[in-house]
């Protein structure tokens, strides 16, 4: 069974016709499983390592834990990565950059929020300059709680992500990961992505801020192809 | 830590100050004091820090700026100036290159204005930020559309 | 086979490319395991037995990735550069003798010149990629690559002159045959061959952008160098081309200086493969041990040391050829 | 036992340290005035770049590959720690400052707690002083190991020899974190120090574990020298690169290994002793060259010195209580006296100070962290002009910045 982006069953006349052909669906399913196996076993990581969790991310890629075991290697450019690991606090000044890099990553892509700062802002969540959780501006697939999480917890998170990728491609329902919440602290001002209270104008404002980001310097060539 | 003799005599004779930690000097003489201290070997610029005091019955709304210099390896001296809000204090950039970033940071966070600073821009917060977060009347959870 | 040169060449090329691609892909697995051993870590273990299926998973992942052409990029050059890069690298294998006899796809009498010239063409796709990406890191990487190619072509060509002079032929097969029965140029005549062999390997490292001369793709400076804006299979092609280039350089070194298919016992493909892959692993070893030179230092090394020394070896080889 | 190779100082490069020539390096000058044609390429290094050690941004004007002007933009990790410290009580502050310099959290805790102790005139028991010294020195080794790995990676790339050095130093760093985990229960962010002493006494078997760990590391430092220092490529990449003028460094408030590599013999541990350092003999390594290689030598020598201190200390910790006051857990249980204090300790990156104004409640009125990295990063506009992009990366790595501390 084919599924679309949101995990729902997908019907199309051509597809139904193909499904009736003897043997073809078997082949397609096998091919699909093979592709799923490939994409879930070769997760190149874009480390958005800003603070303490970045050090634990480095520890995870070092000898004792070794991300390379499950085929994950850190890449420096978002274009060649599949998973963005947001390891550390994201500030208001950094947030548009993070969103821009996330938008630059080619599909299929996933995001892991590593550490409580990335998940909810933790004890910085009430601070004027800290974004209360990265899921207020980009979708997150897996939350890895901890301050900072141990490297093996990051591994567990990557394993969860792999299972999620396989299940979704097989058309199975996966529960959206519950965001761990810190008791006793107020919830963030902004509704998260997927929250029914979230207004479309907020998305637009955030996208606007990203598009109007001017770091200075500009393009090498501009305008001639737009 | 006891005050070294040359420092004590410089302060007493040049500036009418008793050695203390920290000294309090008038805004008009702070650059002169820094230059004299540099002259007797206090060449290490340790930090510049400011704190905000809201208006009380006795005093207006103001900030205090403290500088600390060291003469390596052991001696150190700290002096502070009081700056009423809305006025400025002379910058030490002309004396110590390190005052540049330090004063920018205090301007950014506390809001003290340093006169004659060559590059008084925000350093920690985005350029379009409003307000100075370390002032006592600044709410810690101030919102900043659209990110928080 | 000689009655149908086109058929022979085409079939040979098809088999050769398939095998070489496989070897290059699985050498990535080997490199990851090898680097892991050097760094006290296991390397890939989970995907297939001992992580052996890791390159397959990477490949399947890469072909599924979305293909984005950046807005201000030159889309034609941007898209044509990766296949062109692989093509120029693969072209070098066309004149390569694999075993005694006619085991060569195209037996050119100027084989070695062909290999060298088509191998140096790889700079052009690299430059195209860097220019078309409209990315400053990529542009800097491309500039560095061009400067590097211009400099390192000179000693590379000069070192290749040594076996040409000693064997008296431009044909790859003749060069290998001249070394039959253990008269490897790296050993005999003593001096020029050995020096030229070392220089050839170093220059090949530079040509293939490997550490310590990998400045066009200096991860810590230029993020990913020329491939910064490339994704999916286009990036995969560049990556594969880099490994292919290294592989071809190792086989070139093996056949020009180490006697090619010659060896104790029966001659044949097995000796060539053994020698080539040993050199290939040696290049990995160098890569995972050394740091990287700065661009200007490394140009200085090229022009101040490599070029004079290679000129000297050519002269010595010529004198040997004439008087000995 | 074999002697480590970097013990001997390398020859200082001939000639004086090149001083900055204005106007190219003038941090305030608008590039428009010397580049009216717009020929220079403006490159934003960071905030997300593999070699900026976090989220640091430098705007570079490049002429070819040579930098003409550099303007740093910190603040991408500004988390408002100082504002938060105004809102939290004295008991709640140490776990917050742990996150400032996340590579040496123990020394951060030490700095704030010493400031609070000076403010309230609390005498710390002798055993706790020794434990603090032990922890600080253990942490310094871990911090320098991380620096060594990342510094090598700046030159060798994530897919090359640098990564090998990185993996080796992280192997040792993990064992140090294991020691701390046994002691305080956390890999980092310990929250183990409190006003008046420590919360956790050393557990059984700790001395044995620390001795084994640090003796291994002492043997391995020689291997690092063989792998990195003896390598001609490393020498040529670092020698004469990023030379820091001592006068300029002092004006900017640069401290720690960077200042010591520029020929200034100053170490707060020796010159204004705190904790138990007054009772110990500390050799302070000094180099005069001021380049990246000198900074490497100073850090390696410091690392060996710290290992020696750890191995000396671990057997000589006096008996007694570990905390002068009853350790409190309720946030509001500790009330400070009014006043002001500035206390500086010598962290792995230099003078780590805490300036605190208290008004007699359970909260500090104003607390400023004086981070050494922030001062070191102010060197960038002076060091970058005239060097190539590759050299800027090396210089940045040799300054060992921790961005959590720069931006706070």
* Residue-wise pLDDT tens digits, C232-284: 888 888 888 888 888 888 888 888 888 877 777 777 788 888 888 898 888 88
Element (H, E) at D301: helix D292-313
pLDDT at A226: 31
Q: What is the mean pLDDT of chain D?
A: 84
**pLDDT number for residue C232:** 85
- Work out the number of other CB atoms within 10 angstroms of the CB of residue B120: 18
- Across-strand partners of D70? D60
Query: Which CATH number belongs to the domain containing residue B89 in this structure?
Result: 3.30.460.80
What ipTM is given for this predicted complex? 0.88
The pLDDT score that the predictor gives to residue D32 is 62
State the pLDDT at residue C264: 78
Output the pLDDT for position D66: 83
Q: Specify the length of chain B in residues.
A: 148
Contact A52 D102 (CB under 8 A): yes
pLDDT of residue D307: 92
Cα→Cα distances D43→B69, C137, D18, D75, Å: 36, 9, 25, 18
The mean per-residue pLDDT over the stretch D290-305 comes to 89
Q: Global pTM?
A: 0.88
Q: What are phi and psi of C258, to 5 degrees?
A: -110, 15
Q: How far apart are CA D305 and CA A113, in angstroms?
A: 39
Question: Rounded to an integer, what distance in angstroms lies between the CA atom of residue C254 and that of residue C280?
Answer: 10
Check if the beta carbon of residue C225 is closer than 8 Å to that of residue C141: yes
Nearest CA-CA partner of D406 in A121, B102, B96: B102
Task: Please determine, looking at this structure, whether the domain spanning A44-211 carries the CATH number 2.40.70.10.
Answer: no
Q: Are A121 and A130 a contacting pair, CB within 8 Å?
A: yes
Neighbouring subunits of D (3+ Cβ pairs under 8 A)? A, B, C
Confidence at residue C266, expressed as pLDDT on a 0 to 100 scale? 77
Rounded to the nearest 5 degrees, what angle is found at the Cα of D5, between the Cα atoms of D1 and D8? 110
D199-214: b or e for each residue (b if 16 or more CB lie within 10 Å)?
Answer: bbebeeeeeebbeebb
Poorest-pLDDT segment among A6-20, A38-52, A154-168, D64-78: A6-20
Q: What is the pLDDT of residues C102-112, one digit of tens each?
A: 777 777 788 88
pLDDT interval class at D137 (50, 70, 90): very high
Structural fold of domain D75-407: Cytochrome-c3 Hydrogenase; chain B (1.10.645)
CA distances from A219 to C136, C177, D41, D251 (A): 8, 55, 10, 37
Interchain proximity A76–C223, CB inside 8 Å? yes
Cα–Cα distance list, C9 to C6, C15, D291 (Å)? 5, 10, 58
**For residue D104, what are the contacts with CB-CB under 8 A and spacing of at least 6?**
D139, D140, D142, D143, D347, D348, D349
Asked whether B and C share 3 or more beta-carbon pairs under 8 angstroms, the answer is no
Q: What is the pLDDT of residues A75-103, one digit of tens each?
A: 888 888 999 999 988 998 888 889 888 98
Beta strands A110-114; A83-87: pairing state: parallel
Average pLDDT score, chain B: 86
A137 vs A118: CA distance, rounded Å: 12
Select the residue of A49, A64, A128 nearest D174 (Cβ to Cβ).
A64
* Per-residue pLDDT, A18: 66
Q: Does D250 sit within 8 Å of B43, measured CB to CB?
A: yes
Of all residues in chain D, the one with the smallest CA distance to B72 is: D266
- Cα–Cα distance between D316 and D319 in angstroms, integer? 9
* Closest CA relative to residue D28, chosen from B65, B101, B46, B95: B101
Which range (A18-22, C130-134, D52-56, D357-361) has the least confidence? Answer: A18-22
d(CA D261, CA D240): 12
Residues A21 and A18: their CA atoms lie apart, in Å, by 5
Identify the pLDDT of residue D36: 62
Pairing mode of beta strands D41-45, D57-63:
antiparallel
Q: Give the confidence band of A9 by pLDDT, cuts at 50, 70, 90.
A: low
Classify residue B90: in a domain, yes or no: yes
Q: Which of B72-86, D4-18, D192-206 has the lowest mean pLDDT?
A: D4-18
Provide the number of structural domains found in chain B: 1
Count of other CB atoms within 10 angstroms of residue A76: 24
On the question of pLDDT at D114 being above 60, the answer is yes
Q: Does A128 touch chain D (CB under 8 A)?
A: yes
Measured between CA atoms, the residue of chain A closest to residue B126 is: A93
DSSP letter at B146? Answer: T
Distance between A34 CA and the closest CA of chain C, angstroms: 8
Gyration radius of chain D over CA positions: 21
> Picking from A176-185, C171-180, D21-30, which range would have the lowest pLDDT averaged per residue?
D21-30
From CA B107, how far away is CA B110, in angstroms rounded? 6
> Which residue of chain C has the CA closest to A38?
C57
Please state, in angstroms and rounded to a whole number, the distance separating the CA atoms of residues D267 and D271. Answer: 6
| Chain C residues with CB within 8 Å of chain A CB | 32, 36, 39-47, 51, 53-54, 56-62, 64-68, 71-75, 134-136, 139, 219, 223-224, 227-232, 235
Specify which of A52-56, C217-221, D30-34, D322-326 reaches the highest per-range mean pLDDT: A52-56
DSSP letters for chain A? --B-TTS-B---HHHHHHHHSTTHHHHHHHHHHHHHHHHHH---EEEEE-SHHHHHHHHHHSTTT-GGGGT--B-SSGGG-SEEEEES--BTTTHHHHHHHHHHSPSS-EEEEESHHHHH-GGGTTSTTB-S-GGGTS--SEEE-SSSPPHHHHHHHHHHHHHHHHHHHTT---PPPPPP--TTSPPPSSPPTT-TT--HHHHHHHHHHHHT---SS--SS-SS--
Asked if the Cβ–Cβ distance from B49 to D355 is below 8 Å, we say yes
Q: Which is it for strands B113-115 and D193-194: parallel, antiparallel or unpaired?
A: unpaired
pLDDT in the model for residue D217 = 92
CB neighbour list of residue D212: distance below 8 Å, 6 or more residues apart: none
Three-state DSSP at D38 gives coil
CB A87 within 8 A of CB A49: yes
pLDDT band at D143 (very low <50, low <70, confident <90, very high): very high
Between CA C47 and CA A41 the distance in angstroms is 7
Q: Check pLDDT > 50 for residue C214.
A: yes
Unique residue bearing structure tokens 């006697």: C259
What is the mean predicted confidence (pLDDT) over D88-98?
86
Sign of the CA dihedral A105, A109, A112, A117?
A: positive
Min Cα distance A69 → chain C (Å) is: 4
> Residue with structure tokens 């994950």?
A72
> Is 70 exceeded by the pLDDT of residue B84?
yes
* Closest chain D residue to the Cα of A217, Cα to Cα: D42
Lowest mean pLDDT among A171-180, C289-298, D230-239: A171-180
Residue with the bigger pLDDT between C1 and D250: it is: D250
Across D52-115, the runs of DSSP E, i.e. the strands, are 57-63, 66-73
**Least reliable range by pLDDT among A124-133, D11-20, D53-62, D199-208:** D11-20
Kindly list the residues of chain D whose beta carbon comes within 8 Å of any beta carbon in chain B. 27-28, 73-75, 78, 80, 82-84, 86-87, 247-248, 250-253, 264-267, 270-272, 340, 342, 344, 351, 353, 355, 357, 365-366, 368, 370, 374-375, 378, 407
Percentage, residues of chain D above pLDDT 90: 14
User: Do C156 and C116 meet the contact criterion of CB atoms below 8 Å apart?
Assistant: yes
List chain D residues with CB under 8 Å of A129. Answer: 78-80
Least confident of A116-130, B14-28, D21-35: D21-35
- Asked whether the predicted pLDDT for residue B143 surpasses 50, the reply is yes
A223 has pLDDT over 50 = no
Query: What's the token pair of residue B95?
Result: 């004396």
Q: pLDDT-derived band of residue B32, with 50, 70 and 90 as boundaries?
A: confident
* Residue C144 to chain A, least CA–CA distance (Å): 17
How high is the pLDDT of residue B75? 85
Residue A56 burial by CB count (10 A; 0-12/13-18/19+): exposed, middle or buried? buried
Mean pLDDT across D186-201: 86
For A117-142, letters b (16+ CB in 10 Å) and e give bbbbbbbbbbbbbbbbbbbbbbebbb
- Decide: A181 and A132 in contact? Cβ < 8 Å: no
Distance, in Å, from the CA atom of C167 to the CA atom of C159, rounded to the nearest integer, reads 13
Those of residues 52-91 in B touching chain D at CB distance below 8 A are: 52, 66, 68, 72-74, 78
Percentage of chain D modeled with pLDDT above 70: 90
Q: Which residue has the higher pLDDT, A212 or C128?
A: C128
**Is the pLDDT reported for residue A176 higher than 60?**
yes
Which run of H or of E encompasses C278?
helix C269-287
Q: How confident is the model at residue C178 (pLDDT cuts 50, 70, 90)?
A: confident
Work out the average pLDDT over C39-43: 86
Is the pLDDT at D23 greater than 50, yes or no? no
What is the reported pLDDT for D62? 83
């Amino acid at each position: 069974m084919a599924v679309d982006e949101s995990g729902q069953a997908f019907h199309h006349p051509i597809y139904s016709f193909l499904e009736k052909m003897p043997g073809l669906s078997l082949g397609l399913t096998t091919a699909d499983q093979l592709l799923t196996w490939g994409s879930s076993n070769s997760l190149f990581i874009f480390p958005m390592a800003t603070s303490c969790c970045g050090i634990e991310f480095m520890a995870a890629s070092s000898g004792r834990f070794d991300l390379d075991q499950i085929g994950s290697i850190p890449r420096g450019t978002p274009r060649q990565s599949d998973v963005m690991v947001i390891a550390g606090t994201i500030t208001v000044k950094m947030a548009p950059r993070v969103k821009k890099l996330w938008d630059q990553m080619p599909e299929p892509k996933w995001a892991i929020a590593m550490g409580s700062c990335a998940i909810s802002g933790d004890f910085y969540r009430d601070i004027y300059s800290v974004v209360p959780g990265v899921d207020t501006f980009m979708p997150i697939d897996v939350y890895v709680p901890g301050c900072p999480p141990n490297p093996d917890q990051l591994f567990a998170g990557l394993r969860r992500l792999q299972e999620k990728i396989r299940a979704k491609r097989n058309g199975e329902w996966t529960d959206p990961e519950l965001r761990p919440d810190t008791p006793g602290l107020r919830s963030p001002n902004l509704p998260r992505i997927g929250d029914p209270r979230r207004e479309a104008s907020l998305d637009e404002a955030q996208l606007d801020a990203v598009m109007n980001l001017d770091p200075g310097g500009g393009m090498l060539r501009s305008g001639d192809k737009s | 830590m006891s005050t070294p003799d040359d420092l004590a005599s410089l302060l007493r004779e040049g500036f009418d100050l008793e050695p203390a930690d920290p000294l309090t000097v008038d805004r008009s003489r702070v650059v002169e004091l820094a230059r004299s201290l540099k002259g007797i070997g206090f060449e290490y610029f340790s930090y510049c820090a400011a704190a905000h005091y809201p208006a009380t019955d006795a005093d207006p709304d103001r900030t205090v700026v403290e500088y600390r210099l060291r003469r390596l390896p052991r001696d150190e001296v700290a002096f502070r100036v009081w700056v009423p809000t809305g006025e400025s204090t002379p910058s030490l950039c002309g004396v110590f290159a390190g005052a540049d970033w330090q004063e920018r940071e205090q301007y950014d966070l506390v809001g003290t204005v340093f006169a004659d600073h060559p590059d008084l821009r925000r350093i920690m917060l985005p350029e379009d930020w409003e307000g100075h977060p370390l002032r006592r009347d600044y709410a810690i959870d101030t919102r900043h559309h659209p990110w928080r | 086979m000689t009655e149908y040169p086109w058929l022979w060449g085409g079939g040979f090329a098809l088999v050769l490319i398939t095998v070489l691609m496989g070897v290059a892909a699985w050498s990535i697995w080997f490199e990851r395991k090898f680097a892991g051993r050097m760094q006290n870590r296991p390397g890939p273990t989970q995907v297939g037995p001992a992580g052996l299926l890791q390159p397959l998973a990477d490949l399947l992942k890469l072909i599924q990735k979305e293909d984005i052409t950046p807005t201000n990029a030159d889309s034609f050059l941007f898209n044509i550069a990766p296949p062109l890069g692989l093509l120029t690298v693969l072209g070098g294998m066309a004149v390569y003798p694999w075993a005694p006899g006619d085991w060569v796809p195209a037996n050119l009498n100027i084989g070695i010149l062909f290999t060298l010239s088509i191998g140096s063409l790889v700079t052009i796709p690299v430059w195209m990629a860097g220019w078309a990406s409209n990315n400053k890191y990529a542009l800097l990487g491309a500039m560095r690559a061009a400067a590097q190619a211009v400099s390192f072509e000179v000693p590379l060509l000069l070192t290749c002159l040594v076996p040409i002079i000693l064997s008296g032929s431009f044909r790859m097969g003749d060069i290998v045959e001249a070394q039959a029965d253990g008269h490897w140029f790296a050993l005999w005549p003593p001096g020029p061959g050995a020096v030229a062999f070392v220089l050839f390997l170093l220059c090949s490292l530079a040509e293939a952008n490997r550490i310590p001369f990998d400045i066009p793709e200096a991860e810590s400076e230029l993020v990913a160098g020329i491939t910064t804006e490339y994704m999916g299979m286009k990036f995969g092609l560049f990556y594969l081309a880099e490994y292919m280039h290294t592989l071809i350089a190792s086989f070139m070194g093996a056949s020009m200086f180490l006697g090619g298919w010659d060896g104790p016992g029966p001659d044949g493909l097995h000796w060539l493969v053994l020698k080539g892959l040993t050199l290939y692993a040696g290049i990995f070893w160098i890569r995972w041990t050394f740091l990287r030179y700065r661009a200007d230092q490394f140009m200085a090394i090229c022009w101040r040391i490599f070029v004079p020394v290679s000129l000297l070896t050519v002269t010595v080889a010529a004198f040997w050829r004439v008087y000995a | 036992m074999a002697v480590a190779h970097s013990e001997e100082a390398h020859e200082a490069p001939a000639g004086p340290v090149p001083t900055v020539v204005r106007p190219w390096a003038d941090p305030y000058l608008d590039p428009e005035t010397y580049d009216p044609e717009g020929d220079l390429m403006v490159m934003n290094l960071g905030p997300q770049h593999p070699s900026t050690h976090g989220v640091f941004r430098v705007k570079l004007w490049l002429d070819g590959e040579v930098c003409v002007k550099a303007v740093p933009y910190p603040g991408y990790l500004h988390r408002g720690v100082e504002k938060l410290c105004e809102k939290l009580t004295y008991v709640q502050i140490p776990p917050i400052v742990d996150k400032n310099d996340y590579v040496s959290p123990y020394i951060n805790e030490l700095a704030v707690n010493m400031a609070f102790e000076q403010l309230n005139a609390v005498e710390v028991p002798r055993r706790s002083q020794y434990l603090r010294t032990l922890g600080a020195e253990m942490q310094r080794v871990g911090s320098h190991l991380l620096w060594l790995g990342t510094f090598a990676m700046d030159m060798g790339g994530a897919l090359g020899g640098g990564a090998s050095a990185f993996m080796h130093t992280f192997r040792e760093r993990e064992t140090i974190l294991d020691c701390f985990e046994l002691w305080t229960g956390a890999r980092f962010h310990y929250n183990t120090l409190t006003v008046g002493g420590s919360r956790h006494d050393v557990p059984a078997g700790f001395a044995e574990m620390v001795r084994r760990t640090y003796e291994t590391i002492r043997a391995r430092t020689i291997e690092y020298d063989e792998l990195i220092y003896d390598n001609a490529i490393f020498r040529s990449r670092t020698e004469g690169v990023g030379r820091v003028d001592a006068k300029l460094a002092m004006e900017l408030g640069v401290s720690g290994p960077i200042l010591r590599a520029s020929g200034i013999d100053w170490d707060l541990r020796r010159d204004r002793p705190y904790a138990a350092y007054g009772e110990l003999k500390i050799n302070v390594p000094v180099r005069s060259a001021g380049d990246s290689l000198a900074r490497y030598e100073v850090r390696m020598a410091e690392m060996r010195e710290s290992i020696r201190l750890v191995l000396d200390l671990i057997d000589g910790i006096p008996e007694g209580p570990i905390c002068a006051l009853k350790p409190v857990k309720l946030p509001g249980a500790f009330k400070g006296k009014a006043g002001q204090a500035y206390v500086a300790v010598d962290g792995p990156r230099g003078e780590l100070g805490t300036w605190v104004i208290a008004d007699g409640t359970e909260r500090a009125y104003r607390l400023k962290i004086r981070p050494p990295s922030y001062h070191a990063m102010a060197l960038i506009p002076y060091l970058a002009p005239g060097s190539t992009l590759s050299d800027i990366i090396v210089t940045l790595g040799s300054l060992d910045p921790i961005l959590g501390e720069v931006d706070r």
